[in-house]
Amino acid sequence: MNSFLYTFGQGLSNLKRNKLFTLASVATIAACLFLFGLFYAILADFQNVVKTAEQGVSVTVFFNEGTTEDEILQLKVAVEERAEVSEVEYVSADAAWDSFKDEYLGEYSEGFTENPLANSANLEIYLKDVSKQGDLVDYLESLDDVRTVNRSELTANTLSGFNNLFAYIYMGIVIILLAVSIFLISNTVTIGISVRKDEISIMKYIGATDFFVRAPFVIEGVMIGFVGSILPLLAIYVIYDKVVAYISGRFSVLNSLINFLPASTIMKTLIPLSIILGVGIGFVGSMATVKKHLTA
């Protein structure tokens, strides 16, 4: 416990000794994680839009003549059990005709005494992930009672492409920001080692272990990363709320196109993620530096 308290105290002392470099490192990490959080919020909202659009994409299954309603409902149960399926709706021939005549014929439908869509009973299948549409269609087309399967391949490919594009862009940005932050942490710890070079040499001469010498610098890096992760979280929470309120009020037409996630939903994921990244950056940067400069 005494060793822990000593190393922790020395880590805080290092922060005070190198105030300018500490502030510069904290500010840089805060700026990097602010951009990280900003891009995360934008990405989360876009993914929510794409997810909402995906929920409207369906696969429609029509059946061979003579297929009974019971057989269709049995297939409905089997399709609902598939992992990629979110919902299955059964549309009877009468329901299909009622929908068609109300939408396209209106009062002219009174001349029809029989249902011209008598063989149009179908299943409308909605997916959890449109990228799995091909697997589902292959399965449906292999069934004996299925006459045809209508799908929106272009829409599914476009939505899947958007998801992949956003993921690649976001990962690229995160890698760049992490590299910059680790570099700055490394420089700050290197300066701290240089300032205490004589003191460290004396400690080693009198038998101090590598852990005892290195721990304060690691704690210094972790503290810089932690503080640097807290500041942008506060800023993002306030800014996100105000920006969403401004856009919703000023550009009301967008409300029907973009369903912004509430700040609480964004922060629920962003808070632990940013703290882990901040502390991780500090730990990795400081550990790499002390191993390089304080090898026995």
pLDDT in tens, 158-183: 666 766 777 777 778 778 777 776 77
Closest CA to 266 of 234, 296, 239, 237: 237
List CB contacts of 27: < 8 A, sequence separation 6 or more: 228
Q: What is the mean pLDDT of residues 205-214?
A: 70
Would the pLDDT of 290 be above 60? yes
Q: What is the mean pLDDT of residues 198-215?
A: 70
Share of the chain above pLDDT 70, in %: 67
Per-residue confidence (pLDDT) for residue 257, from 0 to 100: 61
Task: Judge contact between 216 and 12, C-beta under 8 A.
Answer: no
| Distance, CA of 254 to chain centre | 22
Per-residue confidence (pLDDT) for residue 195, from 0 to 100: 62
pLDDT in tens, 102-111: 654 555 555 5
- The pTM for the full model equals 0.60
Q: What is the mean pLDDT of the chain?
A: 75
Would the pLDDT of 28 be above 80? no
Query: Cα(211)–Cα(280) distance, rounded to whole angstroms?
Result: 19
| More confident: 104 or 246 | 246
- Max alpha carbon distance in the chain (Å)? 105
Distances from the Cα of 230 to the Cα of 126, 224, 263, 276, 283, angstroms? 41, 10, 16, 11, 16
The domains found in the chain, sorted by start residue, are: 2-53+159-293 (no CATH), 58-151 (3.30.70.3040)
Per-residue confidence (pLDDT) for residue 78, from 0 to 100: 87
The mean-pLDDT minimum among 110-114, 147-151, 223-227 falls in 110-114
Query: Cα(288)–Cα(296) distance, rounded to whole angstroms?
Result: 14
Closest CA to 88 of 136, 126, 131: 126
The CA R_g of the chain, rounded to the nearest whole Å, is 30
